[in-house]
Each structure stands twice: as structure tokens, then as C-alpha cells.
Amino acid sequence: MMDSAWSAAAWGGAFGLMNGGLSRRALQKALDKADKVFYAVFAAGFFWRLVFLAGAVWFLRDKKYIILLPFSGALIFTQFIFEVIPLKKGRRQS
């Protein structure tokens, strides 16, 4: 499955896309809610991404660093892209 650094980076990017998209979708749904709800969703998303990264690294613990580093780097970078692009407010206020 992951036999080269390129395939590891592709899998890391794919999982980062999935995790970042899910976190972003949850934040967009919580954007119009109370601040406590929004920050709870934000914190839960942060911890979910951290747990997912730790679980993936644990799952790949027997692989060489040439597999582990590109996977982790692509996963973190792709998830980070979803955090850099600002969320837009759902309702327009005139």
C-alpha cells in the first residue's frame, strides 16, 4: 500500500483532505451558534486531528522514516490548508 515516499505523501494528503474537510464542515455548521458551541466544536476538531495523527503514526510505527515523514507532513499540511482559508459568515447582515 505505502511502498514509497510518494505514495505515503499521497495517502497523507488524502487523509488530510478528509480530516480537514470534516473539521471545516463542522466549524461552518457551528459558525452561527453561540460562542461556547463554536469553541467546543473548534477544540473537538483540534483534538480529533491530533488523535488521528497520533493514531496514524502509531499504525505506521513499523515503517521506515522515509514513509512516516512524508505521510505525516502531507497530512499536517493538508489539514492546515483548511484552517488558513477563513470561514465566511453564513448570514449577511445589512
**pTM of this structure:** 0.78
Q: Residue 72: give the domain boundaries.
A: 25-84
Residues of the chain with pLDDT under 50: 90, 92-94
Q: Is residue 4 part of a domain?
A: no
Q: Is residue 75 part of a domain?
A: yes
pLDDT (tens digit per residue) in 65-80: 788 899 999 999 999 8
Q: Is residue 91 part of a domain?
A: no
Q: Which long-range contacts (CB under 8 A, 24 or more apart) does 48-54 make?
A: 48/19, 48/23, 49/19, 49/20, 49/23, 49/79, 52/15, 52/19
What total of structural domains would you count in the chain? 1
Q: Directed axis angle between helix 65-84 and helix 5-30, to 10°?
A: 30
Look at residue 83 in the predicted model and tell me its pLDDT: 79
